Amino acid sequence: MLFPQKVKSTLWAIVDSMSFNLSPFVKRPGKDFSRERKFGFVRMIRFCISMQSGCMNHELLKYFYFNPDEVPTASAFIQQRAKLLPEAFLYLLSQFNQRFPTKLFMGKYSLIAADGCEFNIARNPDDPSTFHPSNGKSKRGFNMIHTISLFDLISKRYLDIVVQPGRRKNEFAALCQLIDRYSYGGFPILVADRGFSCYNVFAHALETGFYFVIRAKDINTKRLLVAASLPDRLDQWTDVILTRSNSKKKRAHPELAAMYRYICKAVPFDFITDNQPEYHMRLRVVRFKIAEGIYENIITNLPDNEFHTEHLKDIYYLRWGIETAYRDLKHTLGTTNFHSKSPKYIEYEILCRIILYNFCTIITMEVPIKKQTGKWEYQVNLSMAIKICVAFLRDEAAPGNVNGLISQYILPIRPDRTYARQLRFQVPTSFAYRFV
């Protein structure tokens, strides 16, 4: 069996196995999907994953090969989809990833990035959890949902995701949730930007056996070290004892007064309780120069005898992989074109697109690239590879042609290229203006 066919068969086999015990995946166990219909559980999951950005009726026509006797109505699809729980797609994502072991960093570590992403959805001023009123950028206001994902930087696949309403997002809480339910084992290294630098994230990582490399702002680093200024270069360990009391008399170790850091009650921290009023953690603070007058602060717990400053630079540089993954997820796979208006069902669509993205990258990572003569090394054009893999999943391309087609579309690897980030205001795509 060719590898693309193996990946496809594995994905559908997991879906088939889920159908034998529907209780964790449906709203009404014993009732939902108990009758024989055009959209049973297996066909529903398969359709959701392979669905593209066309209007609903067109997608149904394509999936059922334009057979008028087989094509269900859009209403029938919506009624059947409403029986599903998001746990069905989260379980499928986890099981599918575990069937194909991820590649390791330095032969030992799983390099995992965490980052957030926003998706604009259909305008609905009556939904206060997602609606943003006019703020100068939009005269009418807009609706938005927010996601936090874990992404394997070496194997280039999503591991887990939390979807939140845009107005009620809490990135710290979402990341802690993702860390706590991480189930892939090994020695994970969490890489995140400075928006995730907080004591609660550090503590959750330490309690679950995570290593981490998290960027921090200057002001946060100064507070951690209790320093008025920071040197140009720094690499030191620091011990802190976290407490919610400013009373020196209540401290368990008054002789270690310099190590205490006060956390007010308004700031979440999950490991200080009545029975455990203090929490000790040991952190490594690294500071280095990246450009003239520009410095980077890294908070980590990686051992300094194995990971020097240059290693930390390289690790954090690889974090950009999750940014490009979001780009391909949104634009190449059409995740900005939702078929639903409800945030609940938009979550289903995002989960399906993530599973589809992983399906494509698992196949693509195994495609051999013929060595080229010339200045550059080459890599797969992921945008074209995704299109080919999607066609294969929908039975529009033969398995024997997949690797050969992908290997024809390659791009040179040009290291050290930088571009200024372009910020644009985006609105959800309307079905009325889509092309086939």
Inter-helix orientation angle 399-408/3-18, to 10°? 120
In a domain, 19, yes or no: no
Separation in Å, CA 47 to CA 12, 23, 83: 11, 20, 15
What is d(CA 57, CA 166) in angstroms, rounded to the nearest whole number? 29
Separation in Å, CA 143 to CA 78, 244, 371, 430: 22, 37, 47, 14
Are 112 and 149 spatial neighbours (Cβ–Cβ below 8 Å)? no
Return the pLDDT at 436: 40
pLDDT by residue, tens only, the chain of 436 residues: 889 999 999 999 999 999 999 999 999 999 999 888 888 999 999 999 998 878 888 889 988 888 888 898 999 999 999 999 999 999 999 999 999 988 999 989 999 999 999 999 988 999 999 998 887 666 788 899 999 999 999 999 999 999 999 999 999 999 999 999 999 988 999 999 999 999 999 999 999 999 999 999 999 999 999 999 999 899 999 999 999 988 888 888 988 989 999 999 899 999 999 899 999 999 999 999 888 888 999 999 999 999 999 999 999 999 999 999 999 999 888 888 888 889 999 999 999 999 999 999 999 998 888 776 667 777 888 889 999 999 999 888 888 889 889 988 888 877 766 666 666 655 655 554 454 4
What is d(CA 235, CA 396) in angstroms, rounded to the nearest whole number? 55
CATH for 199: 3.90.350
Per the structure block, which two tokens stand in for 21? 């015990």
Pairing of strands 294-300, 278-291: antiparallel
In a domain, 357, yes or no: no
Separation in Å, CA 199 to CA 220, 221, 274: 11, 12, 18
Residue 28: count of CB within 10 angstroms of its CB: 11
Amino acid at 256: L
Pairing of strands 234-243, 260-262: parallel
Return the pLDDT at 410: 81
Q: Name the β-bridge partners of 191.
A: 113, 213
Lookup result for tokens 């069996």: 1
In a domain, 139, yes or no: yes
In a domain, 153, yes or no: yes
How would DSSP label each residue in 394-431? TTSS-HHHHHHHHHHSEEE--TT-----------PPPG
Q: Name the β-bridge partners of 281.
A: 240
**Three-state secondary structure call for residue 280:** strand
In a domain, 230, yes or no: yes
In a domain, 343, yes or no: no
Least Cα distance to 239 among 271, 204, 279 occurs for 279
In a domain, 161, yes or no: yes
- CB crowding 290-314: b at 16 or more within 10 Å, else e: eeeeebbbbbbbbeeeebeeeebee
Return the pLDDT at 432: 46
Structural domain containing residue 254: 98-323
In a domain, 33, yes or no: no
- Name the domain count of the chain: 1
Residue 227 DSSP one-character state: -
- CB crowding 29-52: b at 16 or more within 10 Å, else e: eeebbeeeebbebebbbbbbbbbe
Least Cα distance to 300 among 290, 312, 292, 317 occurs for 312
Query: pTM for this one?
Result: 0.91
